[in-house]
Structure 1
Amino acid sequence: MSIKETLSADAPADDNPSLRHAVSGMAILAGLLLQIARFADAPFPPDLIGYAFWLAAILLWRDLDPRTRLQAGGLSAVGLTLLMVGHFHYRADIDWSGILNGNTYVVAMLVGVSFLGLIGGRETPGGGRSSAGARGVVNTWLSVHLLGAILNLSSVFMVGDHIKARGGLGMAQILTLNRGLSSAAFWSPFFASMGVAMSVAPGMAYGGILAFGLPLALLSGLLTRFEMPRRYALADIQGFSLSLSSLLMPVAMAALVMLFHYVITPSLSIVSIITFLIPSVALLFTLPRGLAWPVRRTLQHARTRLPAMRGEVTLFLSAGLFTLGLSTFTQAATGNQWVLFDEFGVLEASVSYVAIVVSAVAGLHPIIGVSALASMLDPDTTNHTLLGFVSLAAWAVGAAIGPLSGINLSLQGRYGVNSYHIMKFNIPYALAMSCLVFGAIALLDATL
């Protein structure tokens, strides 16, 4: 979400929330606090986390975008149906009280990242300046990519609004914004894609992901740099360039996460560290205004900002229920004997990547393809780093080209560009990036 390429992280916050919105926001906040407490082995049933998040999802259901409602409803219905068939027909043993726990820690991470909004304003990327031509393309891509790796979809609106105010947004700038953000899914630990990848491949090595994901992201920028001047006259097209001071917060956050992961709390996953670290740092920034101020800002954030995250919260929870249902049904129906692939090597990883990207083009969120894939693999025999990389790469390319992806729907809603036009113009990019991904899969498999 999203953080992370998300569906509604930047939906307008309601300054006068209804009681329903306020209760849902407090339920999301409760889910986050419960998840953080679990890191310290607090003595309460972990199912409470899922109940809190699902309560919020139910309360906010009527506010969902119709497309998100259709996908989330379909995933939940299929997941529940498969669970019931598995239990009543195949006698599968199911922990009914825990069926709502799927993807809750990914949702908690997304909620934690949203607290970055407490650190200053999000409307203007301070210290930015205009640029033009091919240099403007590079600067715009870098600005969105570096900010977006931490702030996610907010960075697109920050930079896009700045460019629009100084001459309007053409397709060249739209594509640059699209690729700058979506390519961060290759490597950013703050993206929802990373949280999902770590959930389906908990044993993956982040160092290996970074070694291949970051170069792929940079190649995405390089492709954009050389493609745009060949397709568009860029001399009078505005771009945007960040100042070094604007990068201080993203770089500091990334450094803190790595410090905790490798030195202070090596036993915790990156997703877990982000979940508690970002809210803590954000609240520390508010302390100079008094001890009561962080409490007021947190409550305000819960009542107004968190309900606006309804899209990704609901979709990720529904995908978790779908994954549980599909895996339970598959195991029960086959006696734990059937898996999609006997081994997960270069060919299998490449086919899986293509299937997820194609499903994104067809209008499905990448999490659906990733979840379905993971549920049909044997976690004990599948290389988790390779599976995680496939998930991230398919998410990065699928989000860029998918007409119903969160970023493309957001660009359509904010700037009036048709998301199917974005898909059409991104086809050569997706094909080129896919060739690079296939090469990276082969290299990664050879080094494992």
Structure 2
Amino acid sequence: MTRLQGAMAALMALGLALAVAHLVSPLPLYWAGMVFWLAALLKLPSLPPLLKSQVLLLTLAGATPLAVLLALGKDAQWQRALAVNLPLICIILAAGLLKLICLPAPGKEGAPAKGPKALWQTLFGVHAFSAAINMSALYIAADRLSAQRPLDINQASVLARAFTLSMYWSPLMAGMALALSWAPGASLSELMRWGLVLALLSLLITALQIRLQGKGDYQGFVGFPVSLSSLAIPAFLTVLVLGISHLAPTLSVPLLVAGLAPLLTLGVMFWRKGTQGVKALARHGREQLPAQGGELCLFLAAGLFAVGLSNAFGALGLGQQQLVLNHWHTLGILAGIVLLAYLGLHPIASIAIAGSWTQAMVVDPNLLAFTYLASWSIGVIANPFSGTMLAMVARYGVPYHNLRRHNLPFVLVSLVLAGVLMALIPPG
């Protein structure tokens, strides 16, 4: 590890600790934001060109209106700009630690299987596993399946969708953190209930698409079964989060997860391996936290952009209209975000724009949060530059155009399904 990576790891760990401390103390959340921005500045020079361009563009577009307002002596909400996306960042950093205690021991992951049963086991197993350890579940299954031969289009789509669909309902995923951040007042339990329905329907549609392609694709599918015993710890953490949030509904759920996940990981590692487990956790943090610097930079820049845009709307009088948004308006927001994602704009940037515009509107928080959950989940599949799609293409060699064409029918059907469920969600 280089000295630069060590400094980044220390700053990111400090930022995470300060953000979690905000839950139980008067410590301002933007203090953690300042620490995270220092880490982002260290990471910026080494970002891939495309990601660096997006980060710089979002930063410039957000900082400009804030700078103008500060120069005019007006309130520029710079503290909010530093803090708005921190729950999202913290849940990504903290949940990544869970793979240390959730993954099966080497050689006990389960062997690839073949046939319809393997398809269903892969869909639901990777989906459930992703709900706790994020993209690591996708990598585990994809690495095993690609060890003998490259992933085919069906395997790639199953793994990618199994992962992204867990954003609909899991309180341990970044999508839920984003939705709760931009739709304050939304009910976590209500979002999980409706999100589970949409996730299950989407998983069934994924299997149906493969079945309709032909008997050979369905009967010959090679999948990766996930042991249900590996899900015990994530299930316990989910129940714990739901219980605490019910007793203390004012606590930030993402920051609550960000605090509980490291504590649970530390406790289990110490119980299993004693002080060696604690050292392994520290080593993992030093190595893995800098590796997540790309997401850190993008989400910090998106937060700055969102607040800058919100201030610009306010200065122009666009944030004082107090319009009432209904199901059809939010459906339009969803379709617009997914369309922009398909054209190449990352969903987080579009959600930042929508969130900046809707914060002054009258809209049911559950409906708005569900709109953002669906926008993120469907948009990641539609977007050619999302981390999920880039991993399938760059890491596993799946042909880009084939994957994009294969996913388009699923994206369109998902929009219809999400629209129907959004009409059924009771007012919050």
Alignment TM class, shorter chain as reference: over 0.9
Question: What is the rounded CA distance, in whole Å, between the counterparts of 2:108 and 2:340 in structure 1?
Answer: 38
Give the 3 Å change call, closer, same or farther, for CA 328–31 of structure 1 in structure 2.
same
**Cross-structure match for 2:209:** 227
Deviates more, 1:94-103 or 1:405-414: 94-103
Which residue is 1:112 aligned to? 94
Preserved contact between residue 119 and residue 223 of structure 2 (Cα < 8 Å): yes
- Matching of residue 389 in structure 1 with residue 370 in structure 2: yes
Q: Does residue 259 in structure 1 map to residue 231 in structure 2?
A: no
Q: Contact 1:125/1:158 (CA < 8 Å) preserved in 2? A: no
Stretch of structure 1 that moved more, 112-121 or 351-360: 112-121
DSSP-derived class of the 2:287 partner: helix
The offset of 1:364, in angstroms, is 1.6
C-alpha deviations, 1:337-390, integer Å up to 9, x for none? 246xx2110110110001110111111211111110010124462221111000
C-alpha distance in 2, partners of 1:439/1:357? Answer: 16
- Give yes or no for contact 1:86–1:333 (8 Å, CA) kept in 2: no
Correspondence for 1:26: 10
Q: Percent identity?
A: 30
Deviations 1:3-34 (A, max 9, x none): xxxxxxxxxxxxxx111110011000000111
* TM-score between both structures, scaled by the size of structure 1: 0.89
- Alpha-carbon separation, structure 2, partners of 1:182 and 1:58: 29
Q: Deviations over 1:174-232 (max 9, x none)?
A: 11111111111111111111111111112111222122111110011111111102225
Deviations, residues 299-353 of structure 1 (Å, cap 9, x unaligned): 42332110000111111110110011000111012174246xx211011011000
Q: Deviations over 1:215-263 (max 9, x none)?
A: 1100111111111022252233311222332322332222222222224
Opposite residue 256 of structure 2, the aligned amino acid is: I
Moved over 6 A (4+): none
Partner Cα separation in structure 1 for residue 35 and residue 70 of structure 2? 25
Q: Equivalent residue for 1:215? A: 197
Contact 1:129/1:243 (8 A) holds in 2: no
1:313 matched to 2:308? The reply is no
Equivalent of 1:322 in 287, 305, 311: 305
Moved more, 99-108 or 52-61: 99-108
Change beyond 3 A, Cα 1:117–1:137: closer
Q: Which residue does the alignment assign to 1:9?
A: none
Aligned equivalent of 2:145, options 163, 170, 175 = 163
> How far 1:141 sits from its partner (Å)?
0.9
Query: Which amino acid in structure 2 is aligned with residue 356 of structure 1?
Result: I
Q: How does 1:173-252 map to 2 (within 5 A)?
A: 173-232=155-214, 233-234=216-217, 235-252=219-236
Counterpart amino acid of residue 152 in structure 1: N
Alignment equivalent of 1:270, drawn from 253, 261, 265: 253
> Normalized against structure 2, the TM-score is what?
0.93
Structure-to-structure mapping, 1:25-424, within 5 angstroms? 25-41=9-25, 44-88=27-71, 92-96=74-78, 99-119=81-101, 126-232=108-214, 233-234=216-217, 235-263=219-247, 265-288=248-271, 292-293=275-276, 296-334=279-317, 336-338=319-321, 342-379=323-360, 381-424=362-405
Structure ranking higher in helix proportion: 2
Aligned mates of 1:205, 1:288 — CA distance in 2: 35
Deviation at 1:267, TM superposition (A): 3.5
Post-superposition offset of 1:405: 1.1
Number of residue pairs matched by the alignment: 426
